[in-house]
């Protein structure tokens, strides 16, 4: 029985050796992992792999905030912890109602890149949700200045924060008949609408 197994193993080795190209030592035909006949030691990111941030943004737009958060964590593992990644993670936490975590993470994003307008804007939205209206207005002003006034969403957020600060009854149903809401922004053309969270 043992001799039969040894013979089968020897036969398999001979088949593999005959498949080798004698000049280069590689298997004839397609090679695996470039010049090596062995499988790569780690999975390489290919051009076809979808970026974790892109996946997260699509999930945010679909309202799948928990899945988006996981995708953003994957993006952090792929790209490293950047202001863009932290801003996305903070925004997902905000949509999940984790306001304290969202605020802390967005402040970390700003510490990494003080000129990253989306993080400033999203921090402002978080502060509005936490009732810190005066600070939120200042944060929106910073975001608007950094963005050079190019983003309609940031401008609208600033306008709404100023109106809410000047008119404390801005939360009344009569004041919100136009269904205006604070908006999250991210790098690129996309935006996330932030609906008021229930008390």
Neighbouring CB atoms inside 10 A of 16's CB total 11
Q: Note the pLDDT of residue 2.
A: 53
Which span out of 5-14, 41-50, 161-170, 180-189 was modeled with the highest average pLDDT?
Answer: 161-170
Q: Using DSSP, state whether 192 is helix, strand or coil.
A: strand
Q: What is the DSSP string of 69-111?
A: HHHHHHHHHHH-S-HHHHHHHHHHHHHTT-HHHHHHHHHHHHH
Is the confidence at residue 19, as pLDDT, over 50?
Answer: no
**pLDDT tens profile 29-57:** 444 445 555 544 444 444 444 688 899 99
- In the chain, % of residues over pLDDT 70: 59
- Residues 102 and 165: their CA atoms lie apart, in Å, by 22
The fold for domain 52-186 equals 1.25.40
Q: Tell me the mean pLDDT in the region 68-77.
A: 94
- What is the reported pTM? 0.64
Q: Tell me the mean pLDDT in the region 82-103.
A: 95
User: At residue 60, what are phi and psi to the nearest 5 degrees?
Assistant: -60, -45
User: What are the residue boundaries of the structural domains of the chain, listed by start?
Assistant: 52-186
Is the confidence at residue 165, as pLDDT, over 80?
Answer: yes
- Residues 13 and 18: their CA atoms lie apart, in Å, by 9
- Residues 109 and 123: their CA atoms lie apart, in Å, by 10
Q: Note the pLDDT of residue 52.
A: 86
**pLDDT tens profile 112-159:** 999 999 999 999 999 999 999 999 999 999 999 999 888 889 999 999
152: left (phi over 0), alpha (psi -120 to 50) or beta: alpha
């Amino acid at each position: 029985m043992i001799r039969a197994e040894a013979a089968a193993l020897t036969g398999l080795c001979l088949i593999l050796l005959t498949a080798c190209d004698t000049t280069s030592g590689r298997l004839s035909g397609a090679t695996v992992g470039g010049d090596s006949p062995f499988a790569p030691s780690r999975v390489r990111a290919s051009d076809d792999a979808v970026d974790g941030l892109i996946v997260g943004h699509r999930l945010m737009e679909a309202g799948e905030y928990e899945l988006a958060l996981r995708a953003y964590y994957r993006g952090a593992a792929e790209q490293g912890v950047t202001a863009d990644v932290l801003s996305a993670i903070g925004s997902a936490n905000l949509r999940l109602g984790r306001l304290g975590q969202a605020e802390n993470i967005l402040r970390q994003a700003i510490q990494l890149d003080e000129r990253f307008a989306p993080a400033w804007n999203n921090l402002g939205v978080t502060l509005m949700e936490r009732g810190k209206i005066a600070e939120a207005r200042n944060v929106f002003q910073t975001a608007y200045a950094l963005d050079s006034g190019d983003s309609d969403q940031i401008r609208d957020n600033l306008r709404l924060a100023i109106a809410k600060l000047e008119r404390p009854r801005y939360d009344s149903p009569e004041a919100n008949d136009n269904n205006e809401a604070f908006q999250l922004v991210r790098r690129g053309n996309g935006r996330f609408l932030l609906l008021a969270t229930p008390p």
